[in-house]
Structure 1
């Protein structure tokens, strides 16, 4: 017998769907700012491997000569990004959602099993609660990355007023490298996250929109038992 149960609370869905467009526009506006001084590249000796980014990239996305526009969007949306992130972390602590999100000691081992299963190398399904081990690691990492972006962003934005933040980041130039590296990390996370959503299927995606999922009654009993074990 199948039943409908709540999987994602309204608050969690709001935080998720607010953060997605805010972060996407921040990445876009950050690229407009970076174009003014696109100094980063991968080089072995005197041989250039890759330059962030090729000229064709800027031309295709019409990024050139839009520094002021990029700064305006970036500095405005950073407050929404910071507030949404703060409320999200606060909610997970107060509601107890952190228990389902924070990686456990066994999560790193189980994450490998999740990867093998997604690659169709391992047939048996890895342990799955509300989130599997790989999701726990990824979602916790994105919170840490968000904090890193905020701190390094402040160091770049106001290096004199927040001189101590700039110092903690290793100086202005290193803070800029951290900020850029985290942006690349977000892009990789988006890519992997979208692939995972496709692999998980429409029902999983639907639950992130509606907050509910249809499950068998025996699965509900097993999940309640797992949640009871996690709480203790």
Structure 2
């Protein structure tokens, strides 16, 4: 076996760069005039700087840090939504991402219609979604709201539906951002149980949460980011303890 095949995710010295306009522009016309005249000035912003992470298959990693530390950027990099400015990302296996609340949903369509739409976004055909439809609805506990447009759903209801669809089959890699924080406590417990069951069957997990208790409950390893730079990585208890001390 190739040594790299032990790993589900390898991030090697990755840097993510954004260009931010360094001057205020009041309207779109002014923006395009300056763009054409090459007068538009940008300021470089490094959202991640030389970040490395190696996740073995079946491990569960929590990504922790304060707001703006680069946690969501890290997940988007691993999912392929963002490309590294420098460095490389290597993925072994299929990914089920739960990154942005409502991503893949159309607000004007009903929940029933959105189940098939979101399934298609994840690569499932209509027959597969029909076979698993009742299972998705039962887990999300939304039987009475299937024909309501998603735009009328609370954030918690949308999160329940998104999680239920993303975990209807066992992915090689499950990526979960803060979306579960909007659900009620009982549903959070239900999601945590499903994630733990999937882990026991071999799924690799990346989990971002501001709840250190949830990270310690679900994960065995942690990566601590601060302003786009890795502060520490390793066993979950020691990393979380160091992070909490830094906040005090």
- TM-score normalised by structure 1 residue count: 0.25
- TM-score normalised by structure 2 residue count: 0.24
